[in-house]
Structure 1
């Protein structure tokens, strides 16, 4: 209940749902419109999303270090403003090269505004209490897809995809940017007001090992990266996969919209588990849920209604994995230099997430969506197995 009265956390809730809807989900929500208008292939279009997320991944450690140095009150609202401007610029695009350039630039603004930056400033200010705040933020952030898919579908039906993208840009600049400024200023003030012994900037007597050499780094980073591969493929190819499975447009939009509430439901179930289950075990269960969701999508070729089960399972698994990565990172690798460490842990996840749209498109062009869905089942199972090695650490 305390978090409901916390201005910084409330602001981050509103900011995250808006920037995720605008900067991220607007791409998969409008991909079919771009294919229809420009005639670009699936691989050509998804290559832009891959580059966007690759830029996001490359910037994550740098942006994390900047937040460690106290620049979040400037960088987070700036990212929202620039991202909104780039979204609006998409409405003038008529060449594939311009499309790629704009999405590459949007990738940098994702690094300044999405969950990695948000989690870094919250952990910097709240330390061991960050898990509760992160969970509250992502409970609301989970509704981003529920906002993006129906809203863009409706707007595109009224005035075309250009109208839809401009409205999403307006939401980001009018809502997300001022909320980011408010939240980051308050949380950075909290971090600077911490007692010297608790301050994240306090010098340590022992030198910090290079991040890649920290015990457990590769198991944490690799496990979550494999889960990210499935989420990246599914979220970017969501509507094309369902179309290939013979699912109607209305059923597809309903299943896509179900992902957001399912994220919230999954996170609430995680909160109910409380301290009775370790963060590692919760992460493994969430990864298994992702794999089962991909199985339901594959079965939708025979029973179309199973896409609703897919939407629930994908949303629940994706939502919980998103929370567990910073929590497991802090539990295994510590809080010191958390922004930089978290950025380094997220780097493999974001790279595979970036590769996922293009990889899925190539596999689809070669053999249809059957091998794509098989990969989506296998990858999170392998990720859960990799995290299992940490139980012995």
Structure 2
């Protein structure tokens, strides 16, 4: 990471923290009061949220292609306006139909403004040197829930959920939009390139399919654990307080792992750190299976550290193998199955927990190990295309 990259890393790290806190992390705290106010089950809220993730997945390749052509400045700036519009609609919603439409708008905003778009923007600016900057913004945005949830909870307690949505919308316009627009460089000749560009030919070959499978598998685990981690630990015998306390260690573990990736692991090809990250969850599951509830904290630390590195690998690994050409478009294609899996995982694992209890960790471990097996089939050499 060079000094010239630092201002952009700080700007994107801030806007990514804001984008995640004001979209992806909202339902965890606002679903119940929203449902109560609208007179519906909270499942409606989570269903609309899952649909927004599906929309985000479908738009991923198109958004990535646009960033390849014109850079991230326009797309990420537009994401702040789109997320703000979705939040305003959400705050004004008085019916299921308007609420659902608001989440659809937020899904478009998430496609334009979360990690894949930011990674593509950095790849467009720095090319093969983007690994350090990708690590830098994930290091900052790793605190999105740490910052976002307390702010959302404060808003919920003092001004209500609708006004909290309006406040997050204002933050996107007043903080996120200026940072993205003024700190990201414009790309010379972008308009002419966009006007004359043809759709890129990115073959869905063996390596692309393996990448898509890897990130779909690990993001299924990530999505499931984000929702059900305390419940799974309680099934192992941990108390509710112990489960919550262990879950609170996931965030710090992610940050420490990203610092490790930025320092020690940066000397190695990202394929090796990604393989390492795929085994930490199964190791943690094995530890908690052997020792039970007393090992809950160890499991949380192992799971969190792996998840922290996998978030970075989603950007750095395809860049290392394929290079910066059509990087955003590739990310969109590779990331689409992962976003679909992330949308389905909470419901699927909820049903599995009802049937299997703590043994559901066998399923999550199998998914992580299958991702490792796929990674072992990929060679570290950079592809000529």
Do these two structures clear the TM 0.5 threshold for a shared fold by scoring above it? yes
Distance 1:293 1:164 in 2: 37
- Asked if 1:266 corresponds to 2:254, the answer is no
Aligned residue runs from structure 1 range 50-199, under 5 A:
50-70=50-70, 72-184=72-184, 186=185, 188-189=186-187
CA deviation vs aligned residue, 1:185-211 (integer Å, no higher than 9, x gap): x1x34x769xxxxx999999xx97543
Distance 1:307 1:55 in 2: 35
Shift of the alpha carbon at 1:144? 0.5
Give RMSD over aligned pairs.
3.6
Instruction: Answer yes or no: is the 8 Å Cα contact 1:255–1:307 preserved in 2.
Output: yes
- Asked if 1:324 corresponds to 2:331, the answer is no
Alignment-derived partner of residue 360 in structure 1: 349
Distance 2:311 2:344 in 1: 18
- Asked if 1:379 corresponds to 2:367, the answer is yes
Distance 1:81 1:323 in 2: 26
Instruction: Answer yes or no: is the 8 Å Cα contact 2:89–2:98 preserved in 1.
Output: no
Determine which of 328, 332, 345 is the counterpart of 1:343: 332
Q: How many residues align?
A: 379
Alignment-derived partner of residue 196 in structure 1: none
Determine which of 219, 231, 249 is the counterpart of 2:210: 219
Distance 1:2 1:121 in 2: 17
Shift of the alpha carbon at 1:50? 1.7
Q: CA separation of 1:155/1:248 partners in 2, compared to 1, >3 Å: closer, same or farther?
A: farther
Shift of the alpha carbon at 1:277? 3.2
Instruction: Answer yes or no: is the 8 Å Cα contact 1:146–1:257 preserved in 2.
Output: no
Shift of the alpha carbon at 1:353? 1.2
Instruction: Answer yes or no: is the 8 Å Cα contact 1:42–1:361 preserved in 2.
Output: no
Shift of the alpha carbon at 1:167? 3.4
Determine which of 221, 235, 249 is the counterpart of 1:230: 221
Provide structure 2 residue ranges, at least 5 long, that are not aligned to the other structure: none
Provide structure 1 residue ranges, at least 5 long, that are not aligned to the other structure: 194-198
- Asked if 1:285 corresponds to 2:276, the answer is yes
Alignment-derived partner of residue 19 in structure 2: 19
Alignment-derived partner of residue 323 in structure 2: 334
Shift of the alpha carbon at 1:316? 2.0
TM-score (norm 1): 0.82
Instruction: Answer yes or no: is the 8 Å Cα contact 1:13–1:140 preserved in 2.
Output: yes
Shift of the alpha carbon at 1:238? 5.0
Distance 1:132 1:13 in 2: 13
Instruction: Answer yes or no: is the 8 Å Cα contact 1:50–1:357 preserved in 2.
Output: no
Q: CA separation of 1:361/1:208 partners in 2, compared to 1, >3 Å: closer, same or farther?
A: same
Instruction: Answer yes or no: is the 8 Å Cα contact 1:28–1:237 preserved in 2.
Output: no
TM-score (norm 2): 0.84
Instruction: Answer yes or no: is the 8 Å Cα contact 1:135–1:323 preserved in 2.
Output: yes
Shift of the alpha carbon at 1:228? 0.6
Distance 1:307 1:174 in 2: 41
Aligned residue runs from structure 1 range 7-46, under 5 A:
7-34=7-34, 43-46=43-46
Distance 1:3 1:325 in 2: 24
